[in-house]
Amino acid sequence: MKVALAHDYLREYGGAERVLEVLHEIFPDAPLYTAYYNPEGLGENSKRFSGWDIRTSWFQKFPFANRLLSPFRIFGPMMFESFDLSEYDLVISSSSATHLAKSVITKPETLHISYIHTPPRFLYGYVTSFNYKKHWWTRIGGEIINHFMRIYDFEVSQRPDILVANSKNVAARIKKFYRRDSIVIYPPIDLAAFSRQSSVVRQSESRKLKTDSYYLVVSRLVRGKGADIIVETATKLGIQLKIAGIGPEMESLKKVADKNVEFLGWVSDEERIKLLQNTKALIVAAEDEDFGITAVEAQAAGTPVIAPASGGFLETVEDGKTGLLYGGSGQVTVESLMEALQRFESLKFDSEDCRKNAEKFSKERFKKEILELVEKSLKKCI
C-alpha cells in the first residue's frame, strides 16, 4: 500500500507538528507534501524532519515566500491541487491554521483521511496570533477575502473521505462549519519521554503544594495564548513564574513583568519535561483552545494544570482532581486567574491521578486508533 502525508506547511513547531511526527512514525516511508518548508524557522526542531522525503509546492520558490505565506493563504487550495497524488492508495492530510492540506485532489479509489486540528480560526471568529481587525483598511480587506475563503474552506472540506477531529470541541466546529460528522482521535503524548526522566519527579505523590516553588507557562508567545494575563497576574501576586517559549510578544511582556517573572526562551524537550516535573502547576490562559497538548504533557509529568473552563481543556483536565478550571464560560481575566491561584494554593493534588489521566492520550493509543481507522476504511473501499 502506497501512502502519502500532507501537511499545511512546516515553518514552526507546535502541537500539529507533533501529530505529524507520529503519523510519520506509523508510515515512515510516506513522502510529505507541504505548501512551504522553512528549516531555519524551525530552529533546533528542524532536526526532527531530517531524512524525510519532503515535497513542496510551487510556492516554495516564490520570492519572499516566508513573509507572504499568510496573505497567500487564499491560494492555498491551488498549492495542494498542484500535487500529483495519483499513485497513492492512502493519503492522510493534516490541516490546522489554514485549509491547505485537506484540499489535495485524489483519485476516487484513493482513501483520503484528513486530521483536522481545527477549522481555520481566523475564518470563523476565533482569536488568532494576528489581529487583522486592528486597522480599518485591513479589517475591510480581511472581511472581503475571508468571505471567499470560507466558501473555499467549505468546498475543500467535502473532499476527504473521512474527517478526524483532534477533540470533541473541534468535532463540534466541524459539524457547525462543514456540516459533516467526524471521528475524534486525540493527539498523541509520548508518555515514555516523561518516564525516562522519572528520577526528577516529585518524591511526594500526594502533597500540599510547596510555597517556595514556581509556576510555569509553556507556550508560543503570540496573541491569543493569554501570556499577558498570566504575567500581569503573577506580577500583582508576586508569585514566582517561569515562561518557556518564544514569540513576537516576548519583548512587550518583559516590559510589564516584575523580577519574579523569568523568561527562559526556547527550551529543549528534556528541559521542558524537567520544568513540567518540578513546577507547582502549569498555567494556561488560551482563549477557547482547540485541544491543548501542553496541558496533557504537564499531567504526564505528574503536574496539575490551571486552565480556562472552555475548549479542549474541558476534555483534558479533571477539575479538582488533575487541575483547576477557572473563568466561567471561558472568561479569562486577571481577576479570574488571581482567584484560581488563591484557591489552588489551598488544594491537594495527587501526581498519580494526573499521570493516569494523561494515559488516555498516549502515543500508543493514537497509533492504534489511526491504524484501526485505516484498516476499517480500506475494507469498506474494497
Which position has the higher pLDDT, 367 or 213?
A: 367
pLDDT at 129: 53
Q: Per residue in 251-268, pLDDT tens?
A: 999 999 999 999 999 999
CATH code of the domain containing 149: 3.40.50
User: Is pLDDT above 90 for 235?
Assistant: yes
Same domain, 203 and 165: no
Same domain, 180 and 196: no
Same domain, 206 and 127: no
Same domain, 140 and 220: no
Same domain, 47 and 113: yes
What is the span of the domain harbouring residue 85? 3-188+362-381
User: Is pLDDT above 80 for 202?
Assistant: no
Same domain, 105 and 116: yes
3-state secondary structure the chain: CCEEEEECCECCCCHHHHHHHHHHHHCCCCCEEECCECHHHHHHHHHHHCCCCEEECHHHHCCCHHHHCCHHHHHHHHHHHCCCCCCCCEEEEEECCCCCHHHCCCCCCCEEEEEECCCCHHHCCCCCCCCCCCCHHHHHHHHHHHHHHHHHHHHHCCCCCEEEECCHHHHHHHHHHHCCCCEECCCCECHHHHHCCHHHCCCCCEEECCCCCCEEEECCCCCCCCHHHHHHHHHHHCCCEEEECCCCCHHHHHHHCCCCEEEEECCCHHHHHHHHHHCCCEECCCCCCCCCHHHHHHHHCCCCEEEECCCCHHHHCCECCCEEEECHHHCCCHHHHHHHHHHHCCCEEEHHHHHHHHHHHEHHHHHHHHHHHHHHHHHHHC
pLDDT at 139: 58
**How many CB atoms within 10 Å of residue 31?**
18
pLDDT at 50: 92
pLDDT at 354: 96
Same domain, 17 and 51: yes
pLDDT at 329: 63
Beta-bridge partner residues of 5: 32, 92
Which position has the higher pLDDT, 131 or 310?
A: 310
Please state which of the ranges 4-13, 61-70, 76-85, 339-348 shows the lowest mean pLDDT.
61-70
pLDDT at 330: 55
Same domain, 356 and 368: no
CA of 83: how far to CAs of 33, 61, 99, in Å? 8, 15, 15
User: Is pLDDT above 80 for 116?
Assistant: yes
Q: What is the chain's mean pLDDT, rounded?
A: 88
User: Is pLDDT above 70 for 207?
Assistant: no
pLDDT confidence tier of residue 200, bands split at 50, 70 and 90: very low
pLDDT at 121: 80
Expressed in angstroms, the distance from the first to the final Cα of the chain is 13
Query: How far apart, in whole angstroms, are the C-alpha atoms of residue 338 and residue 249?
Result: 22
Number of domains in the chain: 2
Same domain, 226 and 328: yes
Mean pLDDT of 3-27: 94
Same domain, 175 and 250: no
Which position has the higher pLDDT, 200 or 92?
A: 92
Same domain, 247 and 371: no
Cell numbers placing 112:
483520503
pLDDT confidence tier of residue 53, bands split at 50, 70 and 90: very high
**How many CB atoms within 10 Å of residue 150?**
16
User: Is pLDDT above 60 for 336?
Assistant: yes
Question: What is the Cα gyration radius of the chain?
Answer: 21
pLDDT at 211: 43
pLDDT at 382: 59
User: Is pLDDT above 70 for 57?
Assistant: yes
User: Is pLDDT above 60 for 133?
Assistant: no
CATH code of the domain containing 260: 3.40.50.2000
Same domain, 196 and 127: no
**How many CB atoms within 10 Å of residue 343?**
13
User: Is pLDDT above 80 for 327?
Assistant: yes
